[in-house]
Amino acid sequence: MRRCQVIFVAVLVVAIAAVSQAADEPGVSITIYNRDLALVKDVREMDIESGVSELRFDDVAARIDPTSVHFKVLAGHPASVWEQNYRFDLASSSKILEKYLETEIDVVGEDADLFTGRLVSFDGSSIVLDQGRGAGPILSLNREKVSYIRFPTLPSGLISKPTLVWKLGADEDGDRLVEVTYMTSSINWHAEYVGVIDAEDSNIDLAAWVSIDNRSGASYEDAQLDLVAGDVHRTQDWGRGDMVQEADYMALAKGAAPPSFQEESLFEYHLYKLDTPATVADREIKQLTFFPSTDVAVEKVLEFDHHRSGDVRVLLEFKNSEEAGLGIPLPAGKVRMYKADSVGALQFIGEDRINHTSRDEDMSLYMGNAFDVAAERKTLDSRRITDRVREEDYEVSLRNHKGEDVVIRLVDHPRGFWTITRTTHDFEKKEAYRIEFSVPVERDGEAIVRYTVRYEY
């Protein structure tokens, strides 16, 4: 248990450092993580009385983790927290009716008729009033035909919005600059990449967006916005909401001089800081430009790997390097690709998802299956040489119905201890259990690859 607490505190300390402002002044900072987690720092000026007093801090996230709250006086006379309460019993029609059971209320019907009586019971369809203090008559009113209900006051214990309430001890009256830091769930972010490939399939115009999905129950006005990419360890899922499902959005037209994110390392993760304040409203999906369009050199690869698919797969491969046009840490997200048709209209050609990718790492995007290129693999013969040795002969037919020559990457994964004893084409051993043939196929032509694998057990 102590180890889990140490891990949680370490993550919290790193996160608090991530949202630190250049100067302590009123405002909100929010750091959003990939996995249903955000850290909020809210700095406000508040009047604190001397002695023992109650301080209310409202407009906090409804999905707050109360155990993560940190209170600090930044400027002004000291004050210490004696007790903390998180009140989330929000006022609603049903909550107020529940508080007024066995109490007299006024109910106005749709025809402006007034009914006064002791509230006996209620549900979604009716309200029952006793107009005779136990002796009747008893009225059952249809809630659909009730215009409004009049209550004398808001019952004690109910609040209009989630609120932190502290019991504080202070030696002097006066205004203080107070910082409150807490963690909340039901807020996520992910990256989305949009690329347009050129006519030669050798270069893409790549742009990236950040999508923030806020269901935390609070809005963050003009906040310093930070995003953390990486897998932060959490000891348990303390959030009270389900993970928000990712939505798909097509990129919008680029505006002039949009706000941009500045990347820096944070512990073993990557932090992206927006250079201008942004408002993240509750129940809103917000999109921001992650980086403007950039040209990236790519290679289109036709690959046949019968272990993956019976079709020839189309891949776009490139390196996340400065030489290729990138060279920045890329957070996980979906990559959509488009290409202009004969009249210049963009058409969707495929999409794939990337994991967090560091700079100078190789990347491969699966776009779909080739329409005019076909492949077929057969086992021609299988022979037992000894009790521990077996050979198999394979034949792969690669057919090209395109109007141009192509090169197909043929992949196989022989298992165990193996040796290629005969082959019609050169191959390269990429890993212990991966070999690749690079096979040219002329337009409207066919190439036959035969090879024999000896397996030893």
What are the structural domain ranges in the chain? 93-150, 187-369, 373-456
pLDDT, average across residues 315-337: 94
pLDDT tens track for 160-200 = 678 888 999 999 999 999 999 999 999 999 999 999 999 99
pLDDT tens track for 108-160 = 988 888 998 889 999 988 999 998 876 778 989 998 889 888 887 877 766 66
Q: Which helix (H) or strand (E) holds 403?
A: none
pLDDT, average across residues 92-116: 86
Does residue 415 register a pLDDT over 80?
Answer: yes
pLDDT, average across residues 230-257: 47
pLDDT, average across residues 226-253: 54
Read off the DSSP letter of residue 381: E
Percent of the chain's residues with pLDDT above 90: 65
pLDDT tens track for 26-50 = 999 999 998 899 999 999 999 999 9
Domains 93-150 and 373-456 share a fold: no
Gyration radius of the chain's alpha carbons: 33
Read off the DSSP letter of residue 269: E
pLDDT tens track for 357-414 = 999 999 999 999 999 999 999 999 999 999 999 999 999 999 999 999 999 999 999 9
Q: Which helix (H) or strand (E) holds 17?
A: helix 2-18
* CA gap 223, 217 in Å, rounded: 16
What is the pTM (predicted TM-score) of this model? 0.71
In the prediction, which pLDDT does 249 show?
A: 33
Nearest to 28 by CA among 39, 36, 13: 39
Pick one of 3.30.1380.10, 2.102.10.10, 3.40.50.620, 2.30.30.100 as the CATH number of 93-150. Answer: 2.30.30.100
How far is CA 380 from each of CA 390, 395, 415, 419, rounded to the nearest angstrom?
14, 7, 18, 17
Assign 1 a pLDDT band (cuts: 50, 70, 90).
Answer: very low
In the prediction, which pLDDT does 159 show?
A: 64
Looking up tokens 């057919």, which residue turns up? 399
Q: What CATH number is given for 373-456 in this structure?
A: 2.60.40.290
pLDDT, average across residues 416-432: 96
